Chains A and B, each alone.
Chain A
Amino acid sequence: MPVSLTPQQDLRSKKTSPFPCDHCGLPVPEFRAAAKSSGEKIFCCEGCRTVYQIITGHQLEEYYEIKKGSEFFARSQPASSVLSRYSYLDEPVVKEKLAYGSQARCMDFYVEGVHCVACLWLIERIGKLVPGVEGVQMSLGSMVAKVTLKEQGSFSSVAEGLERIGYKPHPVSEGHQARDLNSAENRREMTRIGVAGFCMMNIMILFISIYAGAEGGMLHLFRWLSGLLFIPVAVYGAAPFYRGALSSLKIREINIDLPVAGALLLGSAASVWNLVMGSEHIYFDSLTAFVFLLLSARYALKTIYQKTASQMGAGEFLIPKSALRWNPATKTSEVAAVETLLPGEFLLIPQGEIIAADGEVTSGGGYADFHMFSGESEPVKLKPGSKVFAGTVNVGDDLIIEVSASGRQTRIERLLESVQNLEKPKTVEIADAAAKRYLAVVFAGAAVLVVTSQGLSFSEAFDRALSMIIIACPCALALATPLVYRMGARAAAQRGVLLKGVSALDKLSRTRNLYLDKTGTLTYGRYQVLSWKILKGMDDLIETACLLEKRSQHPIAIAIRDYAHAVYPLMGDLSLVSDWKEVLGRGVSGKVNGKHYEIKGARADTRSGAIEASLLSSVGIFEEGDLKVLIILGDKIREDSPATAEVLKGQFEMVQIVTGDRAESGAAAAQVLGVQKFTAEMSPEDKRSILGADPFSLMVGDGANDAAAMKAASVSVAVQGSIETSFQCADAYLTTPGIGTLPELISIARRTRSVVWAALLTSLAYNLTGMVLAILGHVTPLVAAIVMPLSSLTVLVIAYAGVNLRFKK
C-alpha cells in the first residue's frame, strides 16, 4: 500500500510545516514535523527517511571520495585557490552589510557547481571539515546556502573550505536575492510559455490532419488528443489572464485581461461542448495560439521593461561600468565590473576619473566635485578619511578609497529612488480612459452580433464574435505606452538628465513658454577674469598679481587666482612678497621683487560701451603707482548659452529671462543671448506669480534659490544646486552645467509623446480594420489569434524605433 507521499504546495495551504526535509529539502507536512522539537531528523516521506538512513551509515569522506572518483559526474578543476581571497568576509564593514541574524552570524552564499543531492549533502556537512560552523542549510532550487557560524567561526574559512571541495561560493547581498527572485519569476513565465508553445504546436499538427480530411477513428483520436493538449494551456497557461480579469472585476475597472479571459472562456466552453457533441466547431488551435502569442508578447515586454528600468538609474550614465579594484597586498589593480564591487574592497581612482562607489579615502589626495550633493561647485579637498560618493569626479591626484556602498546602495541611487514620482503621464491617463470606452463598445458589439446574427447560423455568428473580441484587444495601451516613456527617460538619462518620474517627460512636452533664470543658469555664477590688458610695458604681471591676491578671500581675488593658475600651473612662492596689506573691499598691496604693487579698482575703458560695463568690474595693477595692467572681471555668460538660446527660441513660442538682478545686467544678458524679453529685479513673489499665471510655463533655474518659482511653474528644470533640494521643486535635473542639454531634453519629451500617439493610433487602426473584417466574416478565430499579437508587435517596434533609433547615443 502506498505510504505517505510528498507534501502539498507549501504556499497555498497551511498543512506543511516551515521545516525542510532533512534529506531532499522539500517542505515537511505538519503531522510529520512533530519530531523536530526533540532534535530528531524530520522527513517529507518514508522514502526519504529510508534513503537517508542508508546513506548516513557511511562516513562523510566516503562521499567526497565518491564524488571525486565518479567519472559519471566528472567536473572541471576547482578554481585555483588563492586562499586569502575571502579574507575580506571577516572585515567588520563587510560583515555589517552581508551578515544577518542573531549576532550577525548568518551569511548567505550562492554556491556554484551544485548539481545533485550528494553535493547538497556535502555542502551541508562542511562543518565536519571546517571548524566553527554551527550549520549550513541549502536548497537545491535556489542554490543559496545559509551559513550559520559558532562564536569562534569565520566566514572566510567557510568560503575557503567550500572552494577546496570544489564549489565556488559567492556571498549574496540583498540585491542578489532580489535578482534571484526576479529570475525565478521569469523562469516560471518561461515555463508557462513553453507549455503553451508545446501544446500549440502539437495541436496545430493535429488540426492540419483534421483540416486535410482525416476521418473515422483517426479524426476522433485527433480531436480528443487536441482537447487533452488544450487542458494545460487553458488551466495553467492562461492563468495570468484569468487572475487579471478577476481583479479587474473586483475593482470594477476594465483592463485588457478582461477581453482575453472572456474570449478564452467562451471559446473553451464552445469548443469542449462541440467536441463532446461531435460538431466540427472546435477552436483549440486558435485559442492555444492566442495564449502562446500573448504570453510571449507580455514576456518580451517585461524583459525590455526590466532592462530599461535597471538602466534608468543614474548609475548607468553617471557611474562608470568598470572600476579598478585595488589589492593592497600586492599593490596592483585589476579591472572589475561595477556590479561586483562589495563593501570593504578597495578602488584605485586615477585623476579625472568618475568614482564608481561610495567610500572613504584611504590614501592619495586631491579634489572632488560634489556639486550634485552639496550644490557647491567649488571642488572639495580630500584627505584620508574623507567621504566620497559614486558619481563624483576625482579632479586631483590618484586616490585609493575603501568602498562603503555600491550599486543600488550608493547615495545617488538611493536618492533618485526616493524622489521618483510615480504618477501617470497625462497622455496615458487619456488613453486609458478612451480604452475603457472602446472595450465597452466592443463587448456590446460582439453581444449584438451574436444575438441578431442575421441569416447566419449560431455557430458562425459565434465564430465572428470570437474573432472580433480577439482582434479588439487593446494591447498597445498596456504594452507599448509605458515602454515608450521608459525609453524616453533612458534617452534623457544618457544625456545626464535625471527625471522625477516619467510623467516629467509628458509635462515637458506640453510647455510653450520658456523662462530662464540668469545667474548660474545662463552664466557661470561667479566672477571670472574676462580680459587682462597690458597698458604699459611688456610684463603681464600675472604671477605678481597671483602672489598678492593669494591671501585674500575677496571674490575678485579668487577670480584672479583662478585665472593665474589656469595660465601658469606652477606658481611662485609667497616668500617673495613682503609688506602685504589688504584693504577690505578695496584692494591689496605689497612688495614683490623690490617693487611696490597695488591692485585696486580702476576706471573701465568706456570705449567698450556702457551696457557691457554694467556687467563688469574693472581692476588695475599699479606698479609704483603706475597703472600697468587693466583687468576686467565679470560673471561671464557660459560659452554654450548663446547657441543654446538660439535653438531654444526655435522650440518655444516665447523665451524670457527672469532675474532678480539689476535691470542693466538683465538687459545685457538678453542682448548677448538674442532673447527679446526679459524681466529684472524680480522678487521671489514676482517670479512666482508670473509663472503661476502661465499654464504652459517651463522654468529653468537654480534648485535652491529659485525653488518657489520652480514650484509655481507648470514644469521646471534645475541646473544647479544639490539633487536633493532640486527634486523637491523641480521635475528634472541637469547634471551637466548650463542649459546645453535642455534642447535635447525638450525634443526627447516631444518625440516621446508623438511616438506614443503614433503607436496608439496605429493600434487603433489595426483593431478597427480587423474588427470590421471579423464582422463581415473574413477572419476566422485562428487568423485573429495570430494577427492580434502581430499588431502588438508592430506597435512595439514603432515604440522602440521611434525613440531609441532617433536618440541613440
Chain B
Amino acid sequence: MDCHSSVTHVLVPSAVLTASLLGSGHCALMCGGLVMSAARSSWQHFLYHVGRLASYAGLGYISGLAGENVISRLPQSVSAAAAWAVALSFVALGWIGWRKGGLHLPVPGADKINAWTVRLFRLLTDPSKPGRHYYAALIGALSIFLPCGWLYSFVLASVTLADPLKSAGIMAVFWAGTLPALVVSPWLMRRVVFLPESVLPKLSSLLLIAAGVLPILMRYVKFS
C-alpha cells in the first residue's frame, strides 16, 4: 500500500489546489466586491483571509468527522454498503450536474436563510458603524454562509477522506487556491490564469464523480 498512499498524498492535494486555483475566477467576481467592503487595509485583508481559512478548515473537519463516523463506526458489511452508497450518490449527483449544467437542488426555506444571511452581512459591513474594521476576520469566517456551490462541492467531496484532519487539510488547500484571485489582482489573474467560469459546473460535477469513484478504485483495485 506504500505507493498507493504516496500517490494519494501527492495527487489529491495537488488536484484540489489546481482545481481551486483554476476555478477561482468566479470567486473573484462574486466576492471581490464583498472583500473590498469588508477590508480596507492590507491588515484587514489578511484578517479576512485568516477568518476564511479558519471556517473552511472547520467545515472540512466536520465533514471528515461525518465521513469517519458514518463509514467506520458501522459494522463491516454495513460500512462497505454505506461507502458504496455515498460513492454512488456522488457519482449520480455528478452525472446529473454534468448533464444539466449545474446542480440546483431547491432547499425548502433557503430563501429565508438567505435573507438572514444578507441582514447579518449588511450589519457587519455597514460603513457607518464604528469599529467595523475589526470585523474583517469575522466576515471572512462567516462567508461560508454565502451560498456557494463551488465551495460546498469540495466540502462534500472531502467527506470521502473519512478523516477529520485530512479533510480539514484539504479544505485548507482549497483556501490556498482561492488566494491569488482575491489577493493579487482579481482582474489580472482572471484574464491570464483562470478557466472560464462557465466551465465550473462541469468541474464540480467531475469532482463529485471522482470523489465517488476514486475511493472505490483505491480500495479494490491493486496497482502493480
Contact = CB atoms under 8 A, between A and B. Distances in A.
The reply to whether chain A is a binding partner of chain B is yes
A26 B26 contact: yes
A6 interface: yes
A4 B117 contact: no
B104 A221 contact: no
B204 A5 contact: yes
Interface in B51-97: 97
A51 B31 contact: yes
Nearest to B115: A53
Contacts of B10: 221, 225
B146 interface: yes
Contact of A3 (B45, B110, B190): B110
Interface stretch (A112-120, A243-251, A700-708, A793-801): A112-120
A70 B121 CA distance: 20
A73 B186 CA distance: 11
A124 B120 CA distance: 26
A329 interface: no
A74 to B, nearest CB: 11
Given A24-B30, A221-B10, A7 B223 contact: no
A26 B149 contact: no
Nearest to B107: A1
Contacts of B147: 3, 45-47, 50
B41 A3 contact: no
Interface stretch (B159-167, B168-176, B192-200, B212-220): B192-200
A9 B196 contact: yes
Contact of B149 (A23, A47, A278): A47
A115 B34 contact: no
Interface stretch (A61-69, A533-541, A572-580): A61-69
Interface residues on B, range: 35 or more
B53 to A, nearest CB: 19
A121 interface: yes
Contacts of A603: none
B134 interface: no
Contact of A29 (B101, B105, B118, B187): B101
B117 A2 contact: no
Contact of A70 (B11, B28, B36, B223): B36
Contacts of B202: 8
A140 interface: yes
Nearest to A48: B30
A629 B176 CA distance: 98
A102 to B, nearest CB: 30
A5 B153 CA distance: 10
Contacts of B153: 2, 5
A332 B11 CA distance: 66
A220 interface: yes
A118 B31 CA distance: 10
A187 B117 CA distance: 39
A49 B31 CA distance: 11
Given A2-B153, A51-B34, A69-B40, A224 B104 contact: no
A115 B39 CA distance: 17
A273 to B, nearest CB: 15
- Residue of A3, A118, A217 with highest tally of chain B CB at under 10 A: A3
Contacts of A221: 3, 6-7, 10
Nearest to A276: B224
B127 A220 contact: no
A2 B105 contact: yes
A310 B7 CA distance: 52
B107 to A, nearest CB: 6
Interface string A1-36: 111111111100101000000011111010000000
A57 interface: yes
A47 B110 CA distance: 12
Contact of A220 (B3, B114, B187): B3
B217 to A, nearest CB: 12
Given A220-B223, A221-B10, A66 B36 contact: yes
A114 B224 CA distance: 53
The 4 lowest CB-CB distance pairs between A and B, nearest first, are: A4-B104, A217-B3, A8-B101, A5-B149
Interface of B: 2-3, 6-7, 10-11, 26, 28-34, 36-37, 39-42, 45, 97, 101-105, 107, 110, 114, 117-118, 121-122, 125-127, 146-150, 152-153, 156, 185-188, 190-191, 196-202, 204, 223-224
Given A50-B121, A70-B36, 4 more contacts: A7-B101, A46-B114, A47-B149, A57-B126
